[in-house]
Amino acid sequence: MKLQKNHQILIVGLGLLGGSYAEALTSAGYHVTAITLSQEDIDYAVERGMISRGAAFVDAELVGAADIVIFALYPHVFKNWVRENQQLFKPGAILTDVTGVKSCIVDEIQSMLRPDVEFIAAHPMAGRECSGVRNADASIFKGANYVVTPSGRNTPEAIALCEDLGRTLGFARISRLAPKEHDEIIAFVSQLTHCIAVALMTCTPSGGEHTNRLEEYTGDSFRDLTRIARLNDEMWSELFKLNKYALLHQMTVFEGELNRMRSMLELDDTEGLREMMRKSTARRALFDKKL
């Protein structure tokens, strides 16, 4: 099942990601509408031609007209929204999302959902260190990964539609993971990395008073490792909490590896260190974006 040009697409939550979806889908020729909290954001998006129209309230007509509804909300807001408004969906509508955790979302939404509507979850692995529709930018999807996370309740048709959505948005690689696998992997590649960046930024290194002006002495390595240390505390604390056990486990894995390195350094095991660095160098080559 493919996206069709006569499909009406509604985006709920017009922030950085919702706005970037809107921009990409409108550019690709689809009919896109939006519902979000602020009328100013709707006005901005309409003026920029990102959406054809929108509402700052739950507009029954917009919801009822949509063949595809994309949720770009905080996890708990998303669940509440569906619980309270699902009677408005068009029969046969496909719902999808951009939520960064899946186990707790997919099961809960699918369990409560009307049987004539299907929710197929996805996680676009793209973002920026800023938020809001004014920072929306469809180019963040270029070269990036898009992960569809179906459960046993999803139909092949909805999965195919969701994958086609990822391609239409411009993602370079579309893959599938079960929700639990997704959450384990995201705990490592995304949540742990944010924890590391925050810890680097908040700890007090030795080095006396100069560490108060660390920005004068830093190079690109520290800038790179802390770009994501500028983050939305409300969203990230919620994502961490919803994936707590997977994240704690990946922290343990990472700390074990850092301690292995520490031991090599303590024991002057230069060959061991060099072997780790060579492995790291070879493996990192796989991770370059394919632009």
Residue 253, interface with a copy of itself (CB under 8 A)? yes
Residue 291, interface with a copy of itself (CB under 8 A)? no
Taking the CA atoms of residue 112, residue 240, residue 124 and residue 71 in that order, the dihedral angle to the nearest 10 degrees is 40
Residue 112, interface with a copy of itself (CB under 8 A)? no
Q: Specify whether the CB–CB gap between 117 and 91 falls below 8 A.
A: yes
Residue 77, interface with a copy of itself (CB under 8 A)? no
For residue 275, the minimal CB distance to a copy of itself (Å) is: 8
The pair of structure tokens assigned to 85 is 């408004």
How far apart, in whole angstroms, are the C-alpha atoms of residue 41 and residue 60? 19
Of the CA atoms within 13 Å of residue 95, those in its CB half-sphere come to 28
Interactions with a copy of itself, residue window 10-49 (CB under 8 A): none
Annotate 70-92 with b (16+ C-beta within 10 A) or e (fewer): bbbbbbeebbebbeeebebbbee
Residue 131, interface with a copy of itself (CB under 8 A)? no
Helix axes 233-242, 75-85, angle to 10 degrees: 80
From 87, 111, 203, 291, residue interacting with a copy of itself (rule: CB under 8 A): 203
From 53, 76, 114, 289, residue interacting with a copy of itself (rule: CB under 8 A): 289
Residue 273, interface with a copy of itself (CB under 8 A)? yes
Residue whose structure tokens are 């994958």: 163
Residue 248, interface with a copy of itself (CB under 8 A)? yes
For residue 2, the minimal CB distance to a copy of itself (Å) is: 22
Interactions with a copy of itself, residue window 183-202 (CB under 8 A): 184-190, 192-202
Residue 155, interface with a copy of itself (CB under 8 A)? no
Residue 256, interface with a copy of itself (CB under 8 A)? yes
The pair of structure tokens assigned to 236 is 């990230």
Residue whose structure tokens are 């960046």: 197
Residue 104, interface with a copy of itself (CB under 8 A)? no
From 19, 125, 148, 152, residue interacting with a copy of itself (rule: CB under 8 A): 125
Residue 139, interface with a copy of itself (CB under 8 A)? no
Q: What are phi and psi of 52, to 5 degrees?
A: -80, -40
From 58, 60, 112, 277, residue interacting with a copy of itself (rule: CB under 8 A): 277
